[in-house]
Amino acid sequence: MPIIDSVRPRPRAAPIPAEGQDGLFTQTWFPVCLSADLPPSGGIVGAELLDGRVVAVRSAAGEVAVLSAYCVHLGADLAVGSLDGEGIRCAFHGWQYGMDGRCRSAGPGREAGLFRFPAVEKYGIVWAFNGIEPLFPIPGTAQPEPGLPSVDRAVAFDQRLAVDPWVVAAQTLDLQHFSLPHEGKFVEDPNDSLSWTDFSVGYRYHALMPGGEEYKVWASIHGSNIFWQHGTLDGRWFRWITGMSAPRTGTTASFFSWGTQRVPGEPPDAAEAFLTKVQMFMLNLLAEDAPVLTTIHYTPGLLTPADRALAEFFGYLRRYPRANPARQYLR
C-alpha cells in the first residue's frame, strides 16, 4: 500500500469566507481613523479600506464624512487635496466635491460623484459602514452614574496583523484559549449566558486572572470585527471597544477606545491611573496572543464539545451578509 493511502485527511470544518473573497467584505462598521487625526477646524485624512482607499473629512463646520478617495476625473488622490468651504477640492484639476460626495464642478463631472459611506464619530474614532445603509448601530451602553464626568482614551495600534479581523474577534469566543494561555479562571461559565442576534453575540465574563484581578464584564462581538465590553475590573467600572479595520484582504488594523468615570472625592489622577491599568490589562492579553496571530494559518478543523461557542460563531460568520457597493470607486 502506498504510504499516502495510509494518511488520514486532516479534518476541516466548512470554510468561512475570507474578507475580500469574490471582492466582498463583511457588512459592518470599520474604523477609519482617530477623531484626533481630523483637526476641529477641518481636515482630510487618507486611509486604506476594503482593498482600496478612502478619505475621512471634517468640514469647517465640524461635519464628518468618509468618501472614496479618488477623483472621478483622472483618479487623483483627494487626500492631497484641500478643504474648500464645506467640501473638497482636488489638487490636480480643481474639481470640487461636497460632503455628500457629489461633484460640484461644472461640466460632465456634475453627473458623477464619490461613494459616500454611512459614517459616525464615536469613542474618539471615525467609523464607516460597508453598505448603503447600516445594519446595526455602533454598540454602547449608559454609564452607571450619568452625572459623573467621563475620562476617555483612543489609540490606533501601530502593528497590523496578517489575518482577517474576524480571526482576532474569534479569540474572545475561544473559551478554552482564555483559560489556558491567559490562565484565567472562570467564576461562571460564559457558555451559559451566550446571547445571539443577527448581527452580534454577547456573553458574560466573570473570571479571576493570574495577576489577582477580578474581571467581570458583559462582552460582545458586533458584526465580525467589533469587540465591545463594559463592566468592572477589580470593582471599578470601565468600557472598552476594539474596532478592527480591513484595509486589505488578510490584514487587520486595530483601534482601541476605553473610558471610565471620575469618582467624587478621589485624587485628580485616580481615573487616569485606572485607565492605564485597564490599558495594560487588555493589551497584555493581546500581547500574549500576538505570537499566534502573527503566524497562524487559521483553518477551523476538528472541533470539540469545548469549542461550542466558537463553532456557533463560525456558523454566524458563514451566514453573515457581505457586500462591497463602493468597490468600483476605491481603486
Neighbour count for residue 172 (Cβ, 10 Å): 23
Residues paired with 46 in a beta bridge: 55
Global confidence as pTM: 0.93
CA distance 31 to 47: 10
Identify the DSSP state of 3.
Answer: G
Looking at residue 242, its pLDDT comes to 97
Burial 280-300 (b: 16+ CB within 10 A, else e): ebbeebbeebeeebeeeeeeb
Looking at residue 137, its pLDDT comes to 97
- Is the pLDDT at 109 greater than 70? The verdict is no
- Written as one letter, the residue type at 80 is V
CA distance 78 to 81: 5
Do the beta carbons of residue 246 and residue 20 sit within 8 Å?
yes
Do the beta carbons of residue 256 and residue 241 sit within 8 Å?
yes
pLDDT per residue over 26-69, tens digit each?
A: 999 999 999 999 999 999 999 999 999 999 999 999 999 999 99
Do the beta carbons of residue 51 and residue 66 sit within 8 Å?
no
Q: Looking at residues 302-316, what average pLDDT do you find?
A: 89
Domains parsed from the chain with CATH numbers? 24-129 (2.102.10.10), 150-319 (3.90.380.10)
Please tell me which residue, 66 or 189, carries the higher pLDDT value: 66
Residue 121 in grid coordinates: 464619530
- Is the pLDDT at 183 greater than 70? The verdict is no
Average pLDDT, the chain: 91
CA distance 26 to 50: 10
pLDDT per residue over 212-269, tens digit each?
A: 889 899 999 999 999 999 999 999 999 999 999 999 999 999 999 999 999 999 998 9
Residue 140 phi, psi dihedral angles, 5° rounding: -170, 175
- Is the pLDDT at 185 greater than 90? The verdict is no
- Cell numbers 468600557 correspond to what residue? 239
Q: Looking at residues 270-276, what average pLDDT do you find?
A: 95
Do the beta carbons of residue 173 and residue 283 sit within 8 Å?
no
